[in-house]
Structure 1
Amino acid sequence: MSEFLLTTPVGGGNSTSVTAELLVACFHNDDAFKYRAYTVTYLLLFPVALLCNIGALVVFSLQSGRRSSASSVVMMNLALSDGGFSLTLPLRLAYYFRGGVWVFPDWLCRLCVYGFYVNLYTSIFFLTLLSMLRWLAVVQPLRHRSLATPSRILRVCLGVWLFVGLSSAPFLTNGVTHRSGSPRCFEPSSPSSWGRVLILNYVALALGFLLPFLTIIVCYSRIIQRLRVRSNLHGSSDAYRRGKRRSVHLVTMVTTTFLLCFLPYHVIRSLHLHAVCGGWSCDVVVTLQRAAVVTLCMAASNSVVNPLLYYYSTRTFRDKMRDAHFSLSSRGGSFRARLRRRNTS
């Protein structure tokens, strides 16, 4: 389901063994495409994801308790998830630069596989939680003030971490395997493991994608409906325009993330697993494998898309960014002035 999308199909008996051998040869003749795609993607993602999410964590931590909000708590957890995933990218890059040879300990291989799914599904649940908070703020503002306190939302976020962490635990069982005399990571351990992967795929698809996606669709339809009603009541007041702008930004960014990062990956992953387990023709399976590689790269890119969400949908985040920029500019200016005075003295 991650980079270990394809190694050996499920099967049994002599005829399926022959088919398996043919398909394995076909699959790994296409390894060069997979390695190039992941290498280019992770080279681009690593510095951007690491710097942007560390910067976001710094900005959120600088917010005083008085200005902290429930949404900021969720976004801080989202940035922590994305930042943690970005730390695994150098290991993945080293693996693909070596042509698919894993030289690190087995536990690091398991951690990289596990980290991808933890990041993917915590991101989905945190974005869903943000959508629910915005729905509550727009549709039921009084309940939002009483229910959505930072401490209460922090407990919900901890529950998300616990649920996703435990649900993703089966991926910790997949470590280093050996193929062609070399240690490999991100590949299934045995043909029988594909049946388990297919079951896990359907559980993740239902609980980790479809349910959250339907939730945000319901939330956003209610938000849009309420904003239309309020537009007639409040006219063009400044407070209404600011609230509407934040809601529109959040709806746009979250919907774009789901449609571009999460939806293609889950659709292609399901088709690909069916092709492998169903023994479809090699050409079809390899085509789906390439599509799965591309959509996995798109899913991983959510770690650099989310910082845009923080900036465009959170006023306090933008204020802190401006304050930090002003502070750095002031310090730089005073430092240059001291240097000029020292040089002229």
Structure 2
Amino acid sequence: MSGERQLSNDTDEEGAMKSSNGSEQLLTTPLAAGNNSTATVELQACFHDDDAFKYRAYTFTYLLLFPVAFLCNVGALAVFLLQSGRRSSASCIIMMNLALSDGGFSLTLPLRLTYYFRGGVWDLPDWLCRLCVYGFYVNLYTSILFLTLLSVLRWLAVTQPLRHRTLATPTRTLLVCLGVWLFVGVSSTPFLSNGVTDRAGFPRCFEPSSPSSWGRVLILNYVALALGFLLPFLTIIICYSRLVRRLTARSGLRGDSATGGSRGRNRRRSVHLITMVTATFLLCFLPYHVIRSLHLHAVCGGWSCDITVALQRAVVVTLCLAASNSVLNPLLYYYSTRTFRDSMRDAQSSLLSNRGGSFRPRLALRRRRNTT
């Protein structure tokens, strides 16, 4: 993760390898081309003008993500803070940190939208450009690690409840979350060194300030892939495979009678957690890391232009999917946490009660039915 500033720039995250009019030269020379000018010219032809596609994709995605991500995550934080009895639980602490990460990332989206609406011209301060790049990767990898912590926590709660009570204390959970913030924040500091650059006479953001080596970038990509994605994903797969085995065994031993009680509710919450976290990894995180690696291999290995250009566009699409994790996580809070759903119902009931007192008896009865 510490070297991903070069990695993200060279994989054309924000269109760093091509100009708005298609006349700029390629910023770097891949390993396969070496010093061969003919090979370099042929490779430069692969990086044709793609700004229109890129800007449309990012603008459409961020216009959808910003209001949903901001409102849902701020609302989730408010609900968690209002849960005085659950606020100190380990899972609630992790989810609050996850909502804080997603909410912070959503605040950078208006800045990105301003940039794309202006056709790739950055008129804002340099430090805001750096903060936008930094915020994306901090959100990406804190989300991965917090989801991994939730998975480990659920596995301990189901398979080893006594050990879960001993290890998953509020203080220890908070310290682990602070460690995640510190680790990802420090590892992502190279992104802060890349600010506004001049291209074609205009100030640009999300573009490299100097050429870099594709071979080094490929190595850095695999370091980030291993530590930032594969290791957490492998941890989740192991936890969930054991969790599913335990839930299946319990279901077979107890039959259907347990599904109506507290054990049945715990089982459903575990299934919801497994489904939501797995879907987030498969939809948001896996495509981005795979396509990013393939694109680097295409450039370093001198693959054909058609494949290279297709992978460039795929990087744009998968980056949009990676950014969408900020709107999927609130669904995780709602479907895997009963107290969160109850708090949402109470908030809705209070709002309706304030609008008209005649609804109060009916809503109170509905709340009692929902909690039974």
TM-score by length of 2: 0.85
Query: Structure 2: which 5+ residue stretches go unaligned?
Result: 1-7, 18-26, 360-372
Tell me if the contact between 1:127 and 1:254 (Cα under 8 Å) persists in the aligned partners: yes
Q: Deviations over 1:154-191 (max 9, x none)?
A: 11000000001111111112211221111111112222
Are the equivalent residues in 1 in contact too, given 2:214–2:300 (CA < 8 A)?
yes
1:112-123 correspondence to structure 2 within 5 Å: 112-123=132-143
1:294 matched to which residue of 2?
317
Q: Deviations over 1:101-144 (max 9, x none)?
A: 11111111111111100000000000000000000001001111
1:194 positional shift: 4.2
Corresponding position of 2:28: 9
Assess if the C-alpha contact under 8 Å between 1:198 and 1:273 holds in 2.
yes
Say whether residues 1:192 and 2:215 are aligned partners.
Answer: no
Determine if contact 1:9/1:276 at 8 Å carries over to the other structure: no
Deviation at 1:197, TM superposition (A): 3.4
SS at match of 1:102: coil
Instruction: Report what 1:342 is aligned to.
Output: none
SS at the partner of 1:64? Answer: coil
Number of aligned residues: 336
Q: Which residue identity does 2:232 align to in structure 1?
A: P
Partners of 1:40 and 1:62 in 2: how far apart?
A: 34
Query: Structure 1: which amino acid aligns with 2:189?
Result: A
Letter in 2 for 1:316: T
Query: Is contact 1:4–1:188 with CA below 8 Å preserved after alignment?
Result: no
Structure 1 residue aligned with 2:249: 229
The one-letter code of the counterpart of 1:10 is T
For 1:29, what is the secondary structure of its paired residue?
Answer: coil
Q: Deviations over 1:83-117 (max 9, x none)?
A: 00000000100111111111111111111111100
In the alignment, is the contact (CA less than 8 A) between 2:295 and 2:311 conserved in 1?
yes
SS, match of residue 203 in structure 2 = strand
Percent identity between matched residues is 77
Aligned to 2:56: 36
- Partner-residue secondary structure (3-state), 1:183: strand
Q: 1:302 to 1:326 in 2, by over 3 A?
A: same
Letter in 2 for 1:91: L
Deviations 1:199-257 (A, max 9, x none): 33211100010000000000000001111221133332212210110000000000000
Q: Which residue of 1 aligns with 2:112?
A: 92
> Do structure 1's residue 244 and structure 2's residue 263 form an aligned pair?
no
Quote the residue 1:74 is aligned against: 94
CA distance, structure 2, for counterparts of residue 15 and residue 125 of structure 1: 41
| Mean Cα deviation higher: 200-209 or 249-258 | 200-209
Unaligned runs of 5+ in 1: 337-345
1:178 and 2:198 are equivalent in the alignment: yes
Structure 2 residue corresponding to 1:217, chosen from 196, 217, 237: 237
Cα RMSD (Å) of the superposition? 2.1
Please give the alpha-carbon distance, in whole angstroms, between the structure 2 residues aligned to 1:325 and 1:41: 29
CA–CA distance in 2 between the matches of 1:279 and 1:131?
40
Residue aligning to 1:153: 173
Further displaced range: 179-188 or 81-90: 179-188
* Amino acid corresponding to residue 298 of structure 2 in structure 1: A
Q: Which residue of 2 aligns with 1:128?
A: 148
1: CA distance, partners of 2:234 / 2:15:
27
